[in-house]
Chains A and B, each alone.
Chain A
């Protein structure tokens, strides 16, 4: 069945790079997404990647996709305290999004 997995916690120092990893199972997914959720809030779309791409860069964000291993990662350069949040990866299964459990990113000053 469909499953998306992420590590639960990541702690970094301000100014370092953060790398959040995700694995998925549905090889037919055409789009994969990264969303950010701050406490008590909804989901904010950060970026997405089409399955025929290996990499996408958007300012401080870099998404890498290894389709063979079904592995997706999000790198945040120069991480700031305002980046502290929960990050969800999601795959698009025919219009429904399947989410991982979320990675809580803690940025220490």
Chain B
């Protein structure tokens, strides 16, 4: 069974640029959630995708957007990068889109905005 994978591992961008982060869900899972973890903080929920539709969103501006593909992999896109977007971005997959499903995390993408 393949776990959750994310790419790239690390990324450096400059303010104003755009970035795309990728996530492959665990085998058999159809739901992907994205979290932002600033240094020294707990993860903050960005949004969740279930069967290619957004299924809940946290308190993040519209320049954070996402996609889920038919194979349940997902992308997180961030436009007009700001210095405060520097963080570890975590993707988690879960089983059936139920509100009680356990979420399994990938290793994260470390984004640095200069």
Interface residues of A in 27-70 (CB under 8 A from B): 30-31, 33, 35, 40-45, 48
Within 8 A of A (CB), among B73-88: none
Query: Are the C-beta atoms of B55 and A95 separated by less than 8 Å?
Result: yes
A-B contact count (CB 8 A): 62
**Could you tell me if A44 and B55 are in contact, using CB atoms closer than 8 angstroms?**
no
Residue of A whose beta carbon sits closest to that of B110: A40
Interface size class of B (residues with CB under 8 A): 20 to 34
Q: Which A residues have a C-beta under 8 Å from some C-beta of B?
A: 4, 30-31, 33, 35, 40-45, 48, 88, 90, 92, 94-102
12 contacts between A and B (CB under 8 A): A31-B102, A35-B105, A43-B105, A48-B102, A92-B99, A95-B33, A95-B98, A95-B101, A97-B92, A98-B45, A99-B44, A101-B41
What 8 A-B pairs come out closest when comparing CB atoms?
Answer: A99-B42, A43-B105, A95-B99, A96-B45, A42-B107, A42-B105, A42-B108, A94-B99
Q: List 18 extra interface pairs beyond A31-B100, A94-B56, A95-B99, CB under 8 A.
A: A42-B6, A42-B90, A42-B108, A43-B105, A44-B105, A45-B102, A45-B103, A45-B105, A48-B102, A95-B56, A95-B98, A96-B33, A96-B45, A99-B42, A99-B44, A101-B40, A101-B41, A102-B42
**B residues neighboring A (CB under 8 Å):** 4, 6, 33, 35, 40-45, 48, 55-56, 58, 90, 92, 98-108, 110
